[in-house]
Chains A and B, each alone.
Chain A
Amino acid sequence: MIRADRLITPIALFLVAFFVVALPAERSRDFDGTITFLAGFATTVGIYAIFTLALNVQWGYTGVFNFGVAAFFLVGAYTSAIFTKPPSSSEFVQYVGGFGNFLSPPLLDSGEWLPFLVGIAAAGAMSGILAFLLSLPTLRLREDYLAIATIGVAELLRRVVIEERGIVNGTNGLVGIPRPLSGYVDPRDYTFLFLGLVLVVLILLFIAVERGIRSPWGRVLRALREDELATAASGKNVFAFKMQGFVVGAVIMGIGGAVFAYGRGSVGPETFDHFFATFLFWAMLIIGGSGNNRGAVAGAFFVWGIYTIALQLNGYDLPAVLKTRIFFIRDFLIGAMLVLILLLRPQGMFPEERRVSIWLDRRMRQLRRAPPETPGEPEP
């Protein structure tokens, strides 16, 4: 018998997918335009899925409470911009660094991909260092202390970006971040190339996270999320493992920030407000199912799908009362949905797997493939 609650997830995902495809198709009535739109949509979902994966490492597996995703997002995005842009040429645009020219020596035609890779690596490293520093005073304390400390660091970094104009050009932000590999394809097709790039990064990270979680290291993280005392009693250094989980998540967030910056071509402080750059990722993870990487990706798709649908609906002839408010209504729905999920279906769309072990998975597959011979049967 099919249980009703198993159907909720596919139905919800299908409905969102349907409207995401149908609304732009109906509005534009143009195949190519719709495909380009959908490629853009998929790119955004892919970038946000990187963040939800990272948050899943921190919250879903390690149980570390990071309410300041925006901080790591910001550090990643700005770091990659600083590393790939050429030095400032105008006195009105001020920022530190600008290593782009330095990173583009005429070596194996590396001008396209070397700065891009270095930018991603630097973004991950900087974000990881920030997480390391932040974990020192807070990780030994109760979970909510880290939460409020991360909110604080996100707010502080945003303020520093706005107030200290010399670091990354203040409120005007940085524009003209070189887009990776853009020299290889026609500008019109670049959307698709970038989508492929995002998907490659996402899949690599997804495999890495899955592999990590299904290792003994990942099981320690899960164990200390469930019961720190028992994990400590088994001889594991709780603080070190928690810090590792937090830092690994932060590194992935930094990479996500870098990919976001490349996708946009610009970064400004207005991107990193708490609703957009922190809460949305939390909503995605909780709705998708924390503790499950597929859930994290599905949550990114679902919530961003709702976002996009609201954006599309705004293009229709709505009554003015609704039109000025549609984005606020959408935000309200996402907030309410988070609370409802916590109340009614805390496991999210994709519940956490109970068994995370590569070895056991392999063994189970073997058993299934060759069922043990039933004893007592006479041999021919």
Chain B
Amino acid sequence: MALFSTRLTNRLAEARAQLQRVGDTASGVGLWALIGILFSYAALAETQLFIIGLIVGGVLALGAIGLTLIYGVLRFGNFAHGDTMMLGSYLAFFFLTGRVLAERRDTSIGFSLNDLPGATERLGDLTFGYGFLLAIALTAIVLAAFSVGLDRLVYRPLRRRRSAIVIFAMASLGVAFSLRALLLIIWGPGPRSYIKGIFLAQKYPFDITLKTDQVFIFAVALALAVLVYLLLFRTKLGKAMRAYADNADLALVSGINTDRIIVWTWAIGGALMAIAGILLSLQANLKPELGFQLLLPLFAAAILGGLGKPQGAFIGALVVGVSQEVSVAYLSAGYKPGVAFAILILILLLRPRGLFGSTT
């Protein structure tokens, strides 16, 4: 009798596991189907907003890829990600114009990239000249170094002490608010923009109107995403990073240098944050408080794709970007963060490990 009941419970457990597997596959397929429906509907019904959403999503993807990489390697959600992105956009503003806030007005430090000969001459239909491209590159380098330095100062001591993951998250929250205060100290609360003036949009087929800047933004975002993909999947460093993210102990046993991985993760994450921040601010004004508001769409994208999975973060960011922009046709624009939140809650309820996440 006892034997029989053991067998029965074993059988039941097996059946339950099988059911879970089926449910899991179903939730995955269902999610992909949902995304497919959303995209085809948006593309057909709201083509203009759909394209804008793809552009916004492309920029978000750069931030979300950095977030997910840092999560994969260091195992904590970096709550300073959005504010570091804003630091990037302000740094680019500084390199371009050389301006900081003095008492009540701006003062210039006397040298800036815009002062270079012909730096502001517009490249084709774009609103900026080569000075802006230099600013992007310079900011990416500076922010990569900044991120590595911040890791040395804050996160490495915590790692050495084997602090709980939540302590890292808390420290990143402290960093986030310090950074925002720092932006306010240096550049003040007023909105700023890279380029002054109004530029006309071009007409494209299917009744789409886009500014050339927006095409540039999407092209850069896509190119960088491809670059990150190549780096992660075609180089030895990328392989090591993915291995470390998958299973840190196994990676250590295989002789992977942890320190090197972490430095590269922050450097890549920092450079991506800088470029994402700048591209985002090319379309809208720079404001210090934007950084924290970026967190919600970034995390929604990263969790939707499965934390730690860069390819997932890319898809997730496109979904979040498109949903947010298309929602404007039906809801007030103030609800954009609400859309990201809805996606987040939905994914947490249906499939918390995301599209690409592994079961363990």
Contact = CB atoms under 8 A, between A and B. Distances in A.
Contacts of A65: 166, 169
A324 to B, nearest CB: 7
Interface residues of A, number: 44
A147 B341 CA distance: 12
A329 B334 CA distance: 30
Contacts of B299: 148
B132 to A, nearest CB: 28
A325 B337 contact: no
A48 interface: no
A325 B341 contact: no
Given A143-B165, A321-B102, A331 B337 contact: no
A196 B163 CA distance: 41
A331 B173 contact: no
B157 A152 contact: no
A332 B289 CA distance: 14
A311 to B, nearest CB: 16
Contacts of A331: 177, 180-181, 184
A324 B103 contact: yes
Interface hub of A273, A336, A338, A343 (most chain B Cβ within 10 A): A343
Contact of A335 (B165, B167, B175): B175
Contact of A336 (B79, B174, B184, B337): B174
A339 B344 contact: no
Contacts of B175: 335, 339
A67 B173 contact: yes
A335 to B, nearest CB: 3
Nearest to A286: B170
Contact of A163 (B79, B170, B177, B335): B335
Contacts, number: 128
B17 to A, nearest CB: 18
A63 interface: yes
B178 interface: yes
Interface stretch (A154-162, A243-251, A255-263, A369-377): A154-162
B171 interface: yes
B171 A339 contact: yes
A145 B295 CA distance: 13
A67 B188 CA distance: 26
Interface string A320-335: 1100110011011011
B245 interface: no
Interface stretch (B205-213, B216-224, B272-280, B345-353): B345-353
Contacts of B181: 328-329, 331-332, 335
A342 B165 contact: no
Nearest to A143: B166
Given A147-B77, A343-B157, A141 B348 contact: yes
Nearest to A334: B177
Interface in B157-195: 157-158, 163, 165-167, 169-171, 173-182, 184-185, 188
Contacts of A137: 345, 348-349
Contacts of B173: 67, 279, 282, 338
Contacts of A342: 158, 163, 167, 170-171, 174
Given A152-B341, A334-B177, A339-B154, 6 more contacts: A67-B173, A152-B340, A156-B337, A160-B338, A275-B180, A336-B178
Interface of A: 63, 65, 67, 137-138, 141, 143-145, 147-149, 151-153, 155-156, 159-160, 162-163, 273-275, 279, 282-283, 286, 320-321, 324-325, 328-329, 331-332, 334-336, 338-339, 342-343, 346
Interface of B: 76-77, 79, 102-104, 154, 157-158, 163, 165-167, 169-171, 173-182, 184-185, 188, 289, 292-293, 295-296, 299-300, 303, 332, 334-335, 337-338, 340-341, 344-345, 348-349, 352
* Shortest beta-carbon contacts, A-B, top 4: A335-B178, A332-B181, A338-B174, A152-B341
7 contacts: A65-B166, A152-B340, A155-B338, A332-B181, A335-B176, A336-B174, A343-B157
